[in-house]
Amino acid sequence: GQQVMQIPQYQHVQEGEDFTTYCNSSTTLSNIQWYKQRPGGHPVFLIQLVKSGEVKKQKRLTFQFGEAKKNSSLHITATQTTDVGTYFCGQRGGGGSNYKLTFGKGTLLTVNP
């Protein structure tokens, strides 16, 4: 099935620094979803992008979908300790099923207060 590669695997920042995680695919993605999982918690949906070049913002979070729809990024401005967690990207659909969500391996963000 189609795989999405996510980098970096880990990122440690000082509170107030910015953070970016990247999601890449060798083939065109029909959409990209982002989820956040707090330590000990469950994945929570953040956003879905479907259009080429799309940019969406949620407060300090900025999500981008590449022009070729082969990559996406999540950027957090001025991180806070509440941003700690693992951020997953994933594509919904593929493998013959519109319901299947294939996740990247995630980026674990830790924030030093």
Partner 1 sequence: DTAVSQTPKYLVTQMGNDKSIKCEQNLGHDTMYWYKQDSKKFLKIMFSYNNKELIINETVPNRFSPKSPDKAHLNLHINSLELGDSAVYFCASSRSDEQFFGPGTRLTVL
Can you give the binding site for partner 1, defined by CB under 8 A? 31, 33, 37, 41-45, 48, 86, 88, 92, 97, 99-103, 105-106, 108
Residue closer to partner 1, measured from CB, 16 or 30: 30
Is 81 in a helix, a strand, or coil? helix
Nearer to partner 1, 46 or 77 (CB): 46
Token code pair at residue 70: 């082969």
Which CB sits closer to partner 1, 20 or 31? 31
Least distance in angstroms from the C-beta of 73 to partner 1: 19
d(C-alpha 82, C-alpha 59), whole Å: 13
Buried b (16+ CB within 10 A) or exposed e, 38-51: eeeeebeebbebee
